[in-house]
Amino acid sequence: MTTPSQLKPIGYYLKHLDALIDREFDRALTASDLTRRHWQVLHALASHGPQDAAGLTARLRPFWDQGAITLDEVTSGLSARGWIARDPDAGTYALTTAGDRGHADAERLILATRGSVTAGVTDEEYAGAVTVLARMCANLEATG
């Protein structure tokens, strides 16, 4: 069993896990010619309805690292597929019927991948880990 003194700092595990999740999501989605960022935009629109670029940027900011595919590249690619459409008057993006189907197909792949990520982790352990991370975020956000 690993003791606390043998563990690396939390930042290591956060960054490492995020990189591994990126890799696995991209691997799962590659046959659909999608990335994790495409999935995130599709899922944000499916879950929260039409959004403008500023709303999508705010919602997905934690996932966009320096040098990553841009929101414009993602929305252009999804538009070219006919999966999202932009309302020129409102400036919002929304899923199309084809986008709803694409989201459903991608969601099946994502859920299977999430199952692999959380294999052997109980619901209580997962909730506890997320709760602790959320509290740590709130602590740091409160410091300004």
The proportion of the chain whose per-residue pLDDT surpasses 90, expressed as a percent, equals 80
Torsion of CA 81, 87, 91, 95, to 10 degrees: -50
Give the per-residue pLDDT at 1.
Answer: 63
Give the residue-averaged pLDDT of 8-20: 92
Query: pLDDT tens, 60-97?
Result: 888 887 777 889 999 999 999 999 999 999 999 999 99
Q: Return the CATH number at 64.
A: 1.10.10.10
* Alpha carbon distance 66, 98 (integer Å): 31
Q: Which residue is associated with the tokens 């991370």?
A: 133
Q: What is the pTM of this model?
A: 0.82
Residue-number span of the structural domain to which 81 is assigned: 4-142
Instruction: Tally the domains of the chain.
Output: 1
Check whether 142 has a pLDDT greater than 70: yes
Average pLDDT, the chain: 92
* Alpha carbon distance 21, 3 (integer Å): 25
* Alpha carbon distance 125, 130 (integer Å): 9
